[in-house]
Structure 1
Amino acid sequence: MTIVHLRDSNFVGGPERQILEHFQRMPPESYDMVLVCYEEDGSPNDLRIQAERRGFRCLTLPTRSPFSWRNIKEIVAMLREADADILVTHGHKGNIFGRIACWMVSIPTIAVSRGWTMESFKIRVFEFLDKIFLHFADHVVAVSEGQRRKILSFGVSPGKISVIHNSIDVCNWGQGDGADIRSRLGVPEGAVLVVSAGRLSPEKDQRTLILAAEWLAVERDDVYFAVFGEGVLRDELERAVQEAGLEGRFFLPGFCQDMVSVMRAVDIFCLPSLTEGLPNVILEAFACSKPVVATRVGGTPELVQDGKNGLLVEPEDAASLSKALGRLCSDSELRRSMGEVGKKMVESSFTYAQQSEMYKKLYSAIVGVER
């Protein structure tokens, strides 16, 4: 069975790591897994590079205007070259153009739905089309029950939706204390480090974290903050940090490939998002035995059990966020115990072995129906 995954991404973040780990666990004697990436001339694609290093078969498509008919023609040619049985799409470009291409070559599609960012007018237009095209996929994989509810809310048939959670391999998250990260940031020994990670874009709502940090910094001089990531709001967030008087206490170090070291450096992981599918970064924090403070949105409550492995607050509530962070800052034993509960949970319930079995059953069902 030849399964082609199409992902429009040139870097390796959470969704890309999910794809690579899924490929790693599919038995090669039964599945020919093929990864297709978009690539600009002269700009190597980090996702393709990492996939090829692991020995996976990769094909590339040239990056073109989203309105070019050649997008679809090239996907058709790629599907024929790969002799694909199923196309699995990740993101709006794959879901829209991949679905049209599959109609032309009579191949079923599975659309993996992780959520929507709404970070710009252009993205909002394509995400609107993405929601429409989910109706036409042969099957939709939602990464959380929360995401499934969103998909149901705009009319996709319940019978064509499966929930397959994002997963993690705790063994891949190594050992160590993240001392190098803390040293590079300039965090004093013994201080509490609160870290967030993700795109610097509106749906991640780092602005509320800055406000919560401003209030917490008045009460405590031993708490430091960092948000790892890049995005359209960098300038705005840098100004907000300055206006809050948090220079030297609140860092925006940019995107970091080595999230293991980052998570090992964390005392508390914080995710103040307005919307989420199922956050990979929370799985990563728990894999490193770190407690989480997060907003009660999307699939996040499926991971963060309030009062057990972390604390949940309502979105855009800086006062509650500051209070929750302050509670954990004041209690190192609570941080330790919540982190351990989180690690045990992901070890038992969010494994790639479980995820792979669900995908195997889905692939067989889709091909069986089509054949």
Structure 2
Amino acid sequence: MIRSVMEETAPMRVAAARRVVIVSNLFPPVVIGGAEIVAHRQAKALAARGYDVAVFAGGLPEAGAEPGSLTLEMEDGFPVYRLILNSLAPAENFHCSANAERFLSVLAAHQPELVHFHNLAGLGFNLIPTAKAFGARVVVTLHDHAGLCFKSTLLRDDGSLCDDIEECAVCLPAIDAPDGTRLPIRLRRDYTAWCLSQADHLLSPSAYLAGALAASGVVTRPVEHLSNGISGERVRVRPKPAPEPVAFTCFSYLGEHKGIPTLLAAAEMLAGDRDLEGRWHLTIAGHGHLADALSRDIAAGRFRGAVAFAGRLAHEQALDRLAETHVVVLASHWPENEPVTLLEAIASGTAQIATRIGGNPDLVDEESSGVLVTPGDAASLALAMRRYIDDPELASAHGAYNAARRDRFDESRTIERLVGLYDLLAGPETAAEAADEILVICGGRVGSRERALQLQVLLHRFHLVEDKVRRVRFVWQGWADARVWREARMLWLWGEADEAELPLVARALRADIPVLAPRSSAQVSAAAAQDVDPYDTLLDALGALAALQDVPAPARSTTGRGPGAARFLNALAPAESFQLPVRAPA
């Protein structure tokens, strides 16, 4: 379900001072993408409206900065707690218990009524249930596809666009748990989805991403469309130079997913046409792993002097460059959410060329504000650029159209709607409708590599039997907190249950949670035969899990599951538990 709040109007209000913590995996001056810029702008705007704002953010490792170390800075009048990130690797960037402990200390210090999360890669999605357990209301702005794709881009390793999120194993079959257990990548996605389900409110800056998340079935809560907007005060419409030669600018990370190779191929085509010589030029501004190759191509004369590399620009420098630009170019191959460069083109009165993918069409009114092209098609991009070269007045017309609609994207409207949402959440909390899904805790040792591979394949294809409304989520026991245990419908042991797994089984039986275990787990089945469901093969286990979809959630007892559970729990208890202390005579 998608609702747009950008179109609503409301009178300006002055918010009563309330305590809010903004969370972002990076935060200025540490910037890689647009999400941290948005988090910063919103933090400043909320502080200006009387909110007591604190920021919990990540930082990149630097000389002398130990991963996990926490520092306090003051930025724009509010405290910024910066935690040096340990890893951005897919196996480690979504869950970190140590980060949650640091986060909890910040929550305890500031006692926020509301926590607003932005990008969480590196900090961990487990911070969401941590905030809920603390008692705060939670808002999450989803800036990318992190809930669907461990890369956040939906791009496969070969650069093609993924159209089936159940095939994550094509890119990364498994990740390693801290104890070395090989875990199917699906467990990462399911845990991330469960964390998002704990939020009170989900936002997405583009209608495209809100729809993609809702259609995927991974995110089960309604996702509300709220544009990030752009500061009309900082990005102004300034007079541009004469439209000939036509000035194109690409503000981008220099990577394949941003379409940089496609843009350079298009520029090479244009540079090869002698009739266009001196009538256009392209400036590329940014940083990334393709920067050195770009510099070499320019030096070697690949573009005949028509392309310049400006490097990474500070924001004020970028705005100055924008004032000299007639057409902004965004050649991304991946479905971006709401690119800042397209918003700034609107706010500055600059024409746009962008790929027809993701949230780009929401920001480009084709043939009015700019031109949309096919992702990865250098010839299509070159043709679009040539249209402006052949008709320089077209750039002026499209720029004027953008200048006329800039107020629709003004950030003040976004902040007004955000304040309205905060006001709504500040009222009495009502019980949210629970997602109709089944949570299964997974544990035990997989055993052989062949069994691990078989498990990966079966779990990734489990959606084939999920043609019903109720999805099954698999969560590794090492990530399961008290909330997961309260919601779990089954504990599934993958392999032989040794002494390390017995306390896990004991906890499940105490909580009246059925246990699904291999028939060969003699210790478990002998001690609690009435309370453990045995299986012979992994296919048998998946059949038992699929059957849960037809069974209503049982009422939980607080006394275990009967005589079998009692025998098992007694067997686990140390002998001294049954001995009464005897006092020596006085």
Q: Return the TM-score normalized by structure 2.
A: 0.55
| Partner of residue 302, structure 1 | 362
Contact 1:309/1:338 (8 A) holds in 2: yes
Bigger mean CA offset, 236-245 vs 2-11: 236-245
| In the alignment, structure 1 residue 352 sits paired with structure 2 residue 378 | no
What is the Cα deviation at residue 158 of structure 1?
6.5
| Partner of residue 142, structure 2 | 113
| In the alignment, structure 1 residue 60 sits paired with structure 2 residue 85 | no
Are residues 260 and 127 of structure 1, via their aligned partners in 2, closer, same or farther at CA, if it must alter by over 3 Å? farther
What is the Cα deviation at residue 190 of structure 1?
5.0
Bigger mean CA offset, 245-254 vs 286-295: 245-254
| In the alignment, structure 1 residue 74 sits paired with structure 2 residue 102 | yes
Contact 2:231/2:412 (8 A) holds in 1: no
| Partner of residue 3, structure 1 | 20
Contact 2:330/2:355 (8 A) holds in 1: yes
Residue identity in the other structure for 1:6: V
Contact 1:138/1:160 (8 A) holds in 2: no
Are residues 176 and 351 of structure 1, via their aligned partners in 2, closer, same or farther at CA, if it must alter by over 3 Å? closer
**Equivalent residue of 1:294, what SS?**
strand
d(CA) in 2 for partners of 1:209, 1:263: 18
Bigger mean CA offset, 360-369 vs 221-230: 360-369
Identity between Structure 1 and Structure 2 (%): 22
Contact 1:134/1:156 (8 A) holds in 2: no
**Equivalent residue of 1:195, what SS?**
strand
d(CA) in 2 for partners of 1:42, 1:100: 32
| In the alignment, structure 1 residue 210 sits paired with structure 2 residue 264 | yes
Are residues 282 and 59 of structure 1, via their aligned partners in 2, closer, same or farther at CA, if it must alter by over 3 Å? same
Query: Which of 31, 56, 77 is the equivalent residue of 2:51?
Result: 31
Residue identity in the other structure for 2:253: R
Query: Which of 275, 299, 312 is the equivalent residue of 1:255?
Result: 312
Contact 1:89/1:95 (8 A) holds in 2: no
What is the Cα deviation at residue 107 of structure 1?
2.4
Note the alpha carbon deviations across 1:72-109, whole angstroms, 9 max, x for none. 10011111111111221111335613214224423232
**Equivalent residue of 1:302, what SS?**
helix
Number of residue equivalences: 355
Bigger mean CA offset, 196-205 vs 232-241: 232-241
**Equivalent residue of 2:217, what SS?**
coil
What is the Cα deviation at residue 305 of structure 1?
0.2
Are residues 42 and 328 of structure 1, via their aligned partners in 2, closer, same or farther at CA, if it must alter by over 3 Å? same
| In the alignment, structure 1 residue 19 sits paired with structure 2 residue 81 | no
Tell which has more relative contact order, 1 or 2 (C-alpha 8 A, sep 6+).
1
| Partner of residue 167, structure 1 | 229
Bigger mean CA offset, 251-260 vs 153-162: 153-162
Are residues 212 and 242 of structure 1, via their aligned partners in 2, closer, same or farther at CA, if it must alter by over 3 Å? farther
What is the Cα deviation at residue 23 of structure 1?
2.9
d(CA) in 2 for partners of 1:29, 1:300: 31
| In the alignment, structure 1 residue 101 sits paired with structure 2 residue 135 | no
| Partner of residue 466, structure 2 | none
d(CA) in 2 for partners of 1:313, 1:104: 47
Bigger mean CA offset, 287-296 vs 159-168: 159-168
Are residues 150 and 240 of structure 1, via their aligned partners in 2, closer, same or farther at CA, if it must alter by over 3 Å? farther
Note the alpha carbon deviations across 1:137-195, whole angstroms, 9 max, x for none. 3221101101101211321567531111021122322576689xxxxxxxxx9532211
Residue identity in the other structure for 2:311: G
Q: Return the TM-score normalized by structure 1.
A: 0.84
Note the alpha carbon deviations across 1:216-270, whole angstroms, 9 max, x for none. 2222112222221112333454566678812633233221112211211212110
d(CA) in 1 for partners of 2:44, 2:360: 26
Contact 2:22/2:43 (8 A) holds in 1: no
Bigger mean CA offset, 144-153 vs 25-34: 25-34
| Partner of residue 472, structure 2 | none
| Partner of residue 328, structure 1 | 388
User: Where does the alignment leave 5 or more consecutive residues of structure 2 unmatched?
Assistant: 1-17, 66-72, 145-151, 158-170, 176-184, 431-586
| Partner of residue 186, structure 1 | none
Residue identity in the other structure for 2:250: S
Aligned-residue RMSD, C-alpha: 3.2
| Partner of residue 373, structure 2 | 313
d(CA) in 2 for partners of 1:282, 1:100: 34
d(CA) in 1 for partners of 2:106, 2:76: 21
Contact 2:24/2:120 (8 A) holds in 1: no
Are residues 55 and 318 of structure 1, via their aligned partners in 2, closer, same or farther at CA, if it must alter by over 3 Å? same
| Partner of residue 364, structure 1 | 423
d(CA) in 2 for partners of 1:131, 1:213: 41
d(CA) in 1 for partners of 2:98, 2:240: 46
| Partner of residue 246, structure 2 | 192
Residue identity in the other structure for 2:406: V
**Equivalent residue of 1:298, what SS?**
coil
Contact 1:14/1:281 (8 A) holds in 2: no
**Within 5 A, what are the aligned runs for 1:124-135?**
128=189, 130=192, 133-135=195-197
Structure with greater helix share of residues:
1
**Equivalent residue of 1:230, what SS?**
coil
| In the alignment, structure 1 residue 150 sits paired with structure 2 residue 212 | yes
Residue identity in the other structure for 2:351: P
Contact 2:265/2:378 (8 A) holds in 1: yes
d(CA) in 2 for partners of 1:334, 1:160: 40
Residue identity in the other structure for 1:82: H
Query: Which of 265, 289, 293 is the equivalent residue of 1:232?
Result: 289
**Equivalent residue of 1:199, what SS?**
coil
Bigger mean CA offset, 124-133 vs 152-161: 124-133
What is the Cα deviation at residue 209 of structure 1?
0.7
**Equivalent residue of 2:126, what SS?**
helix
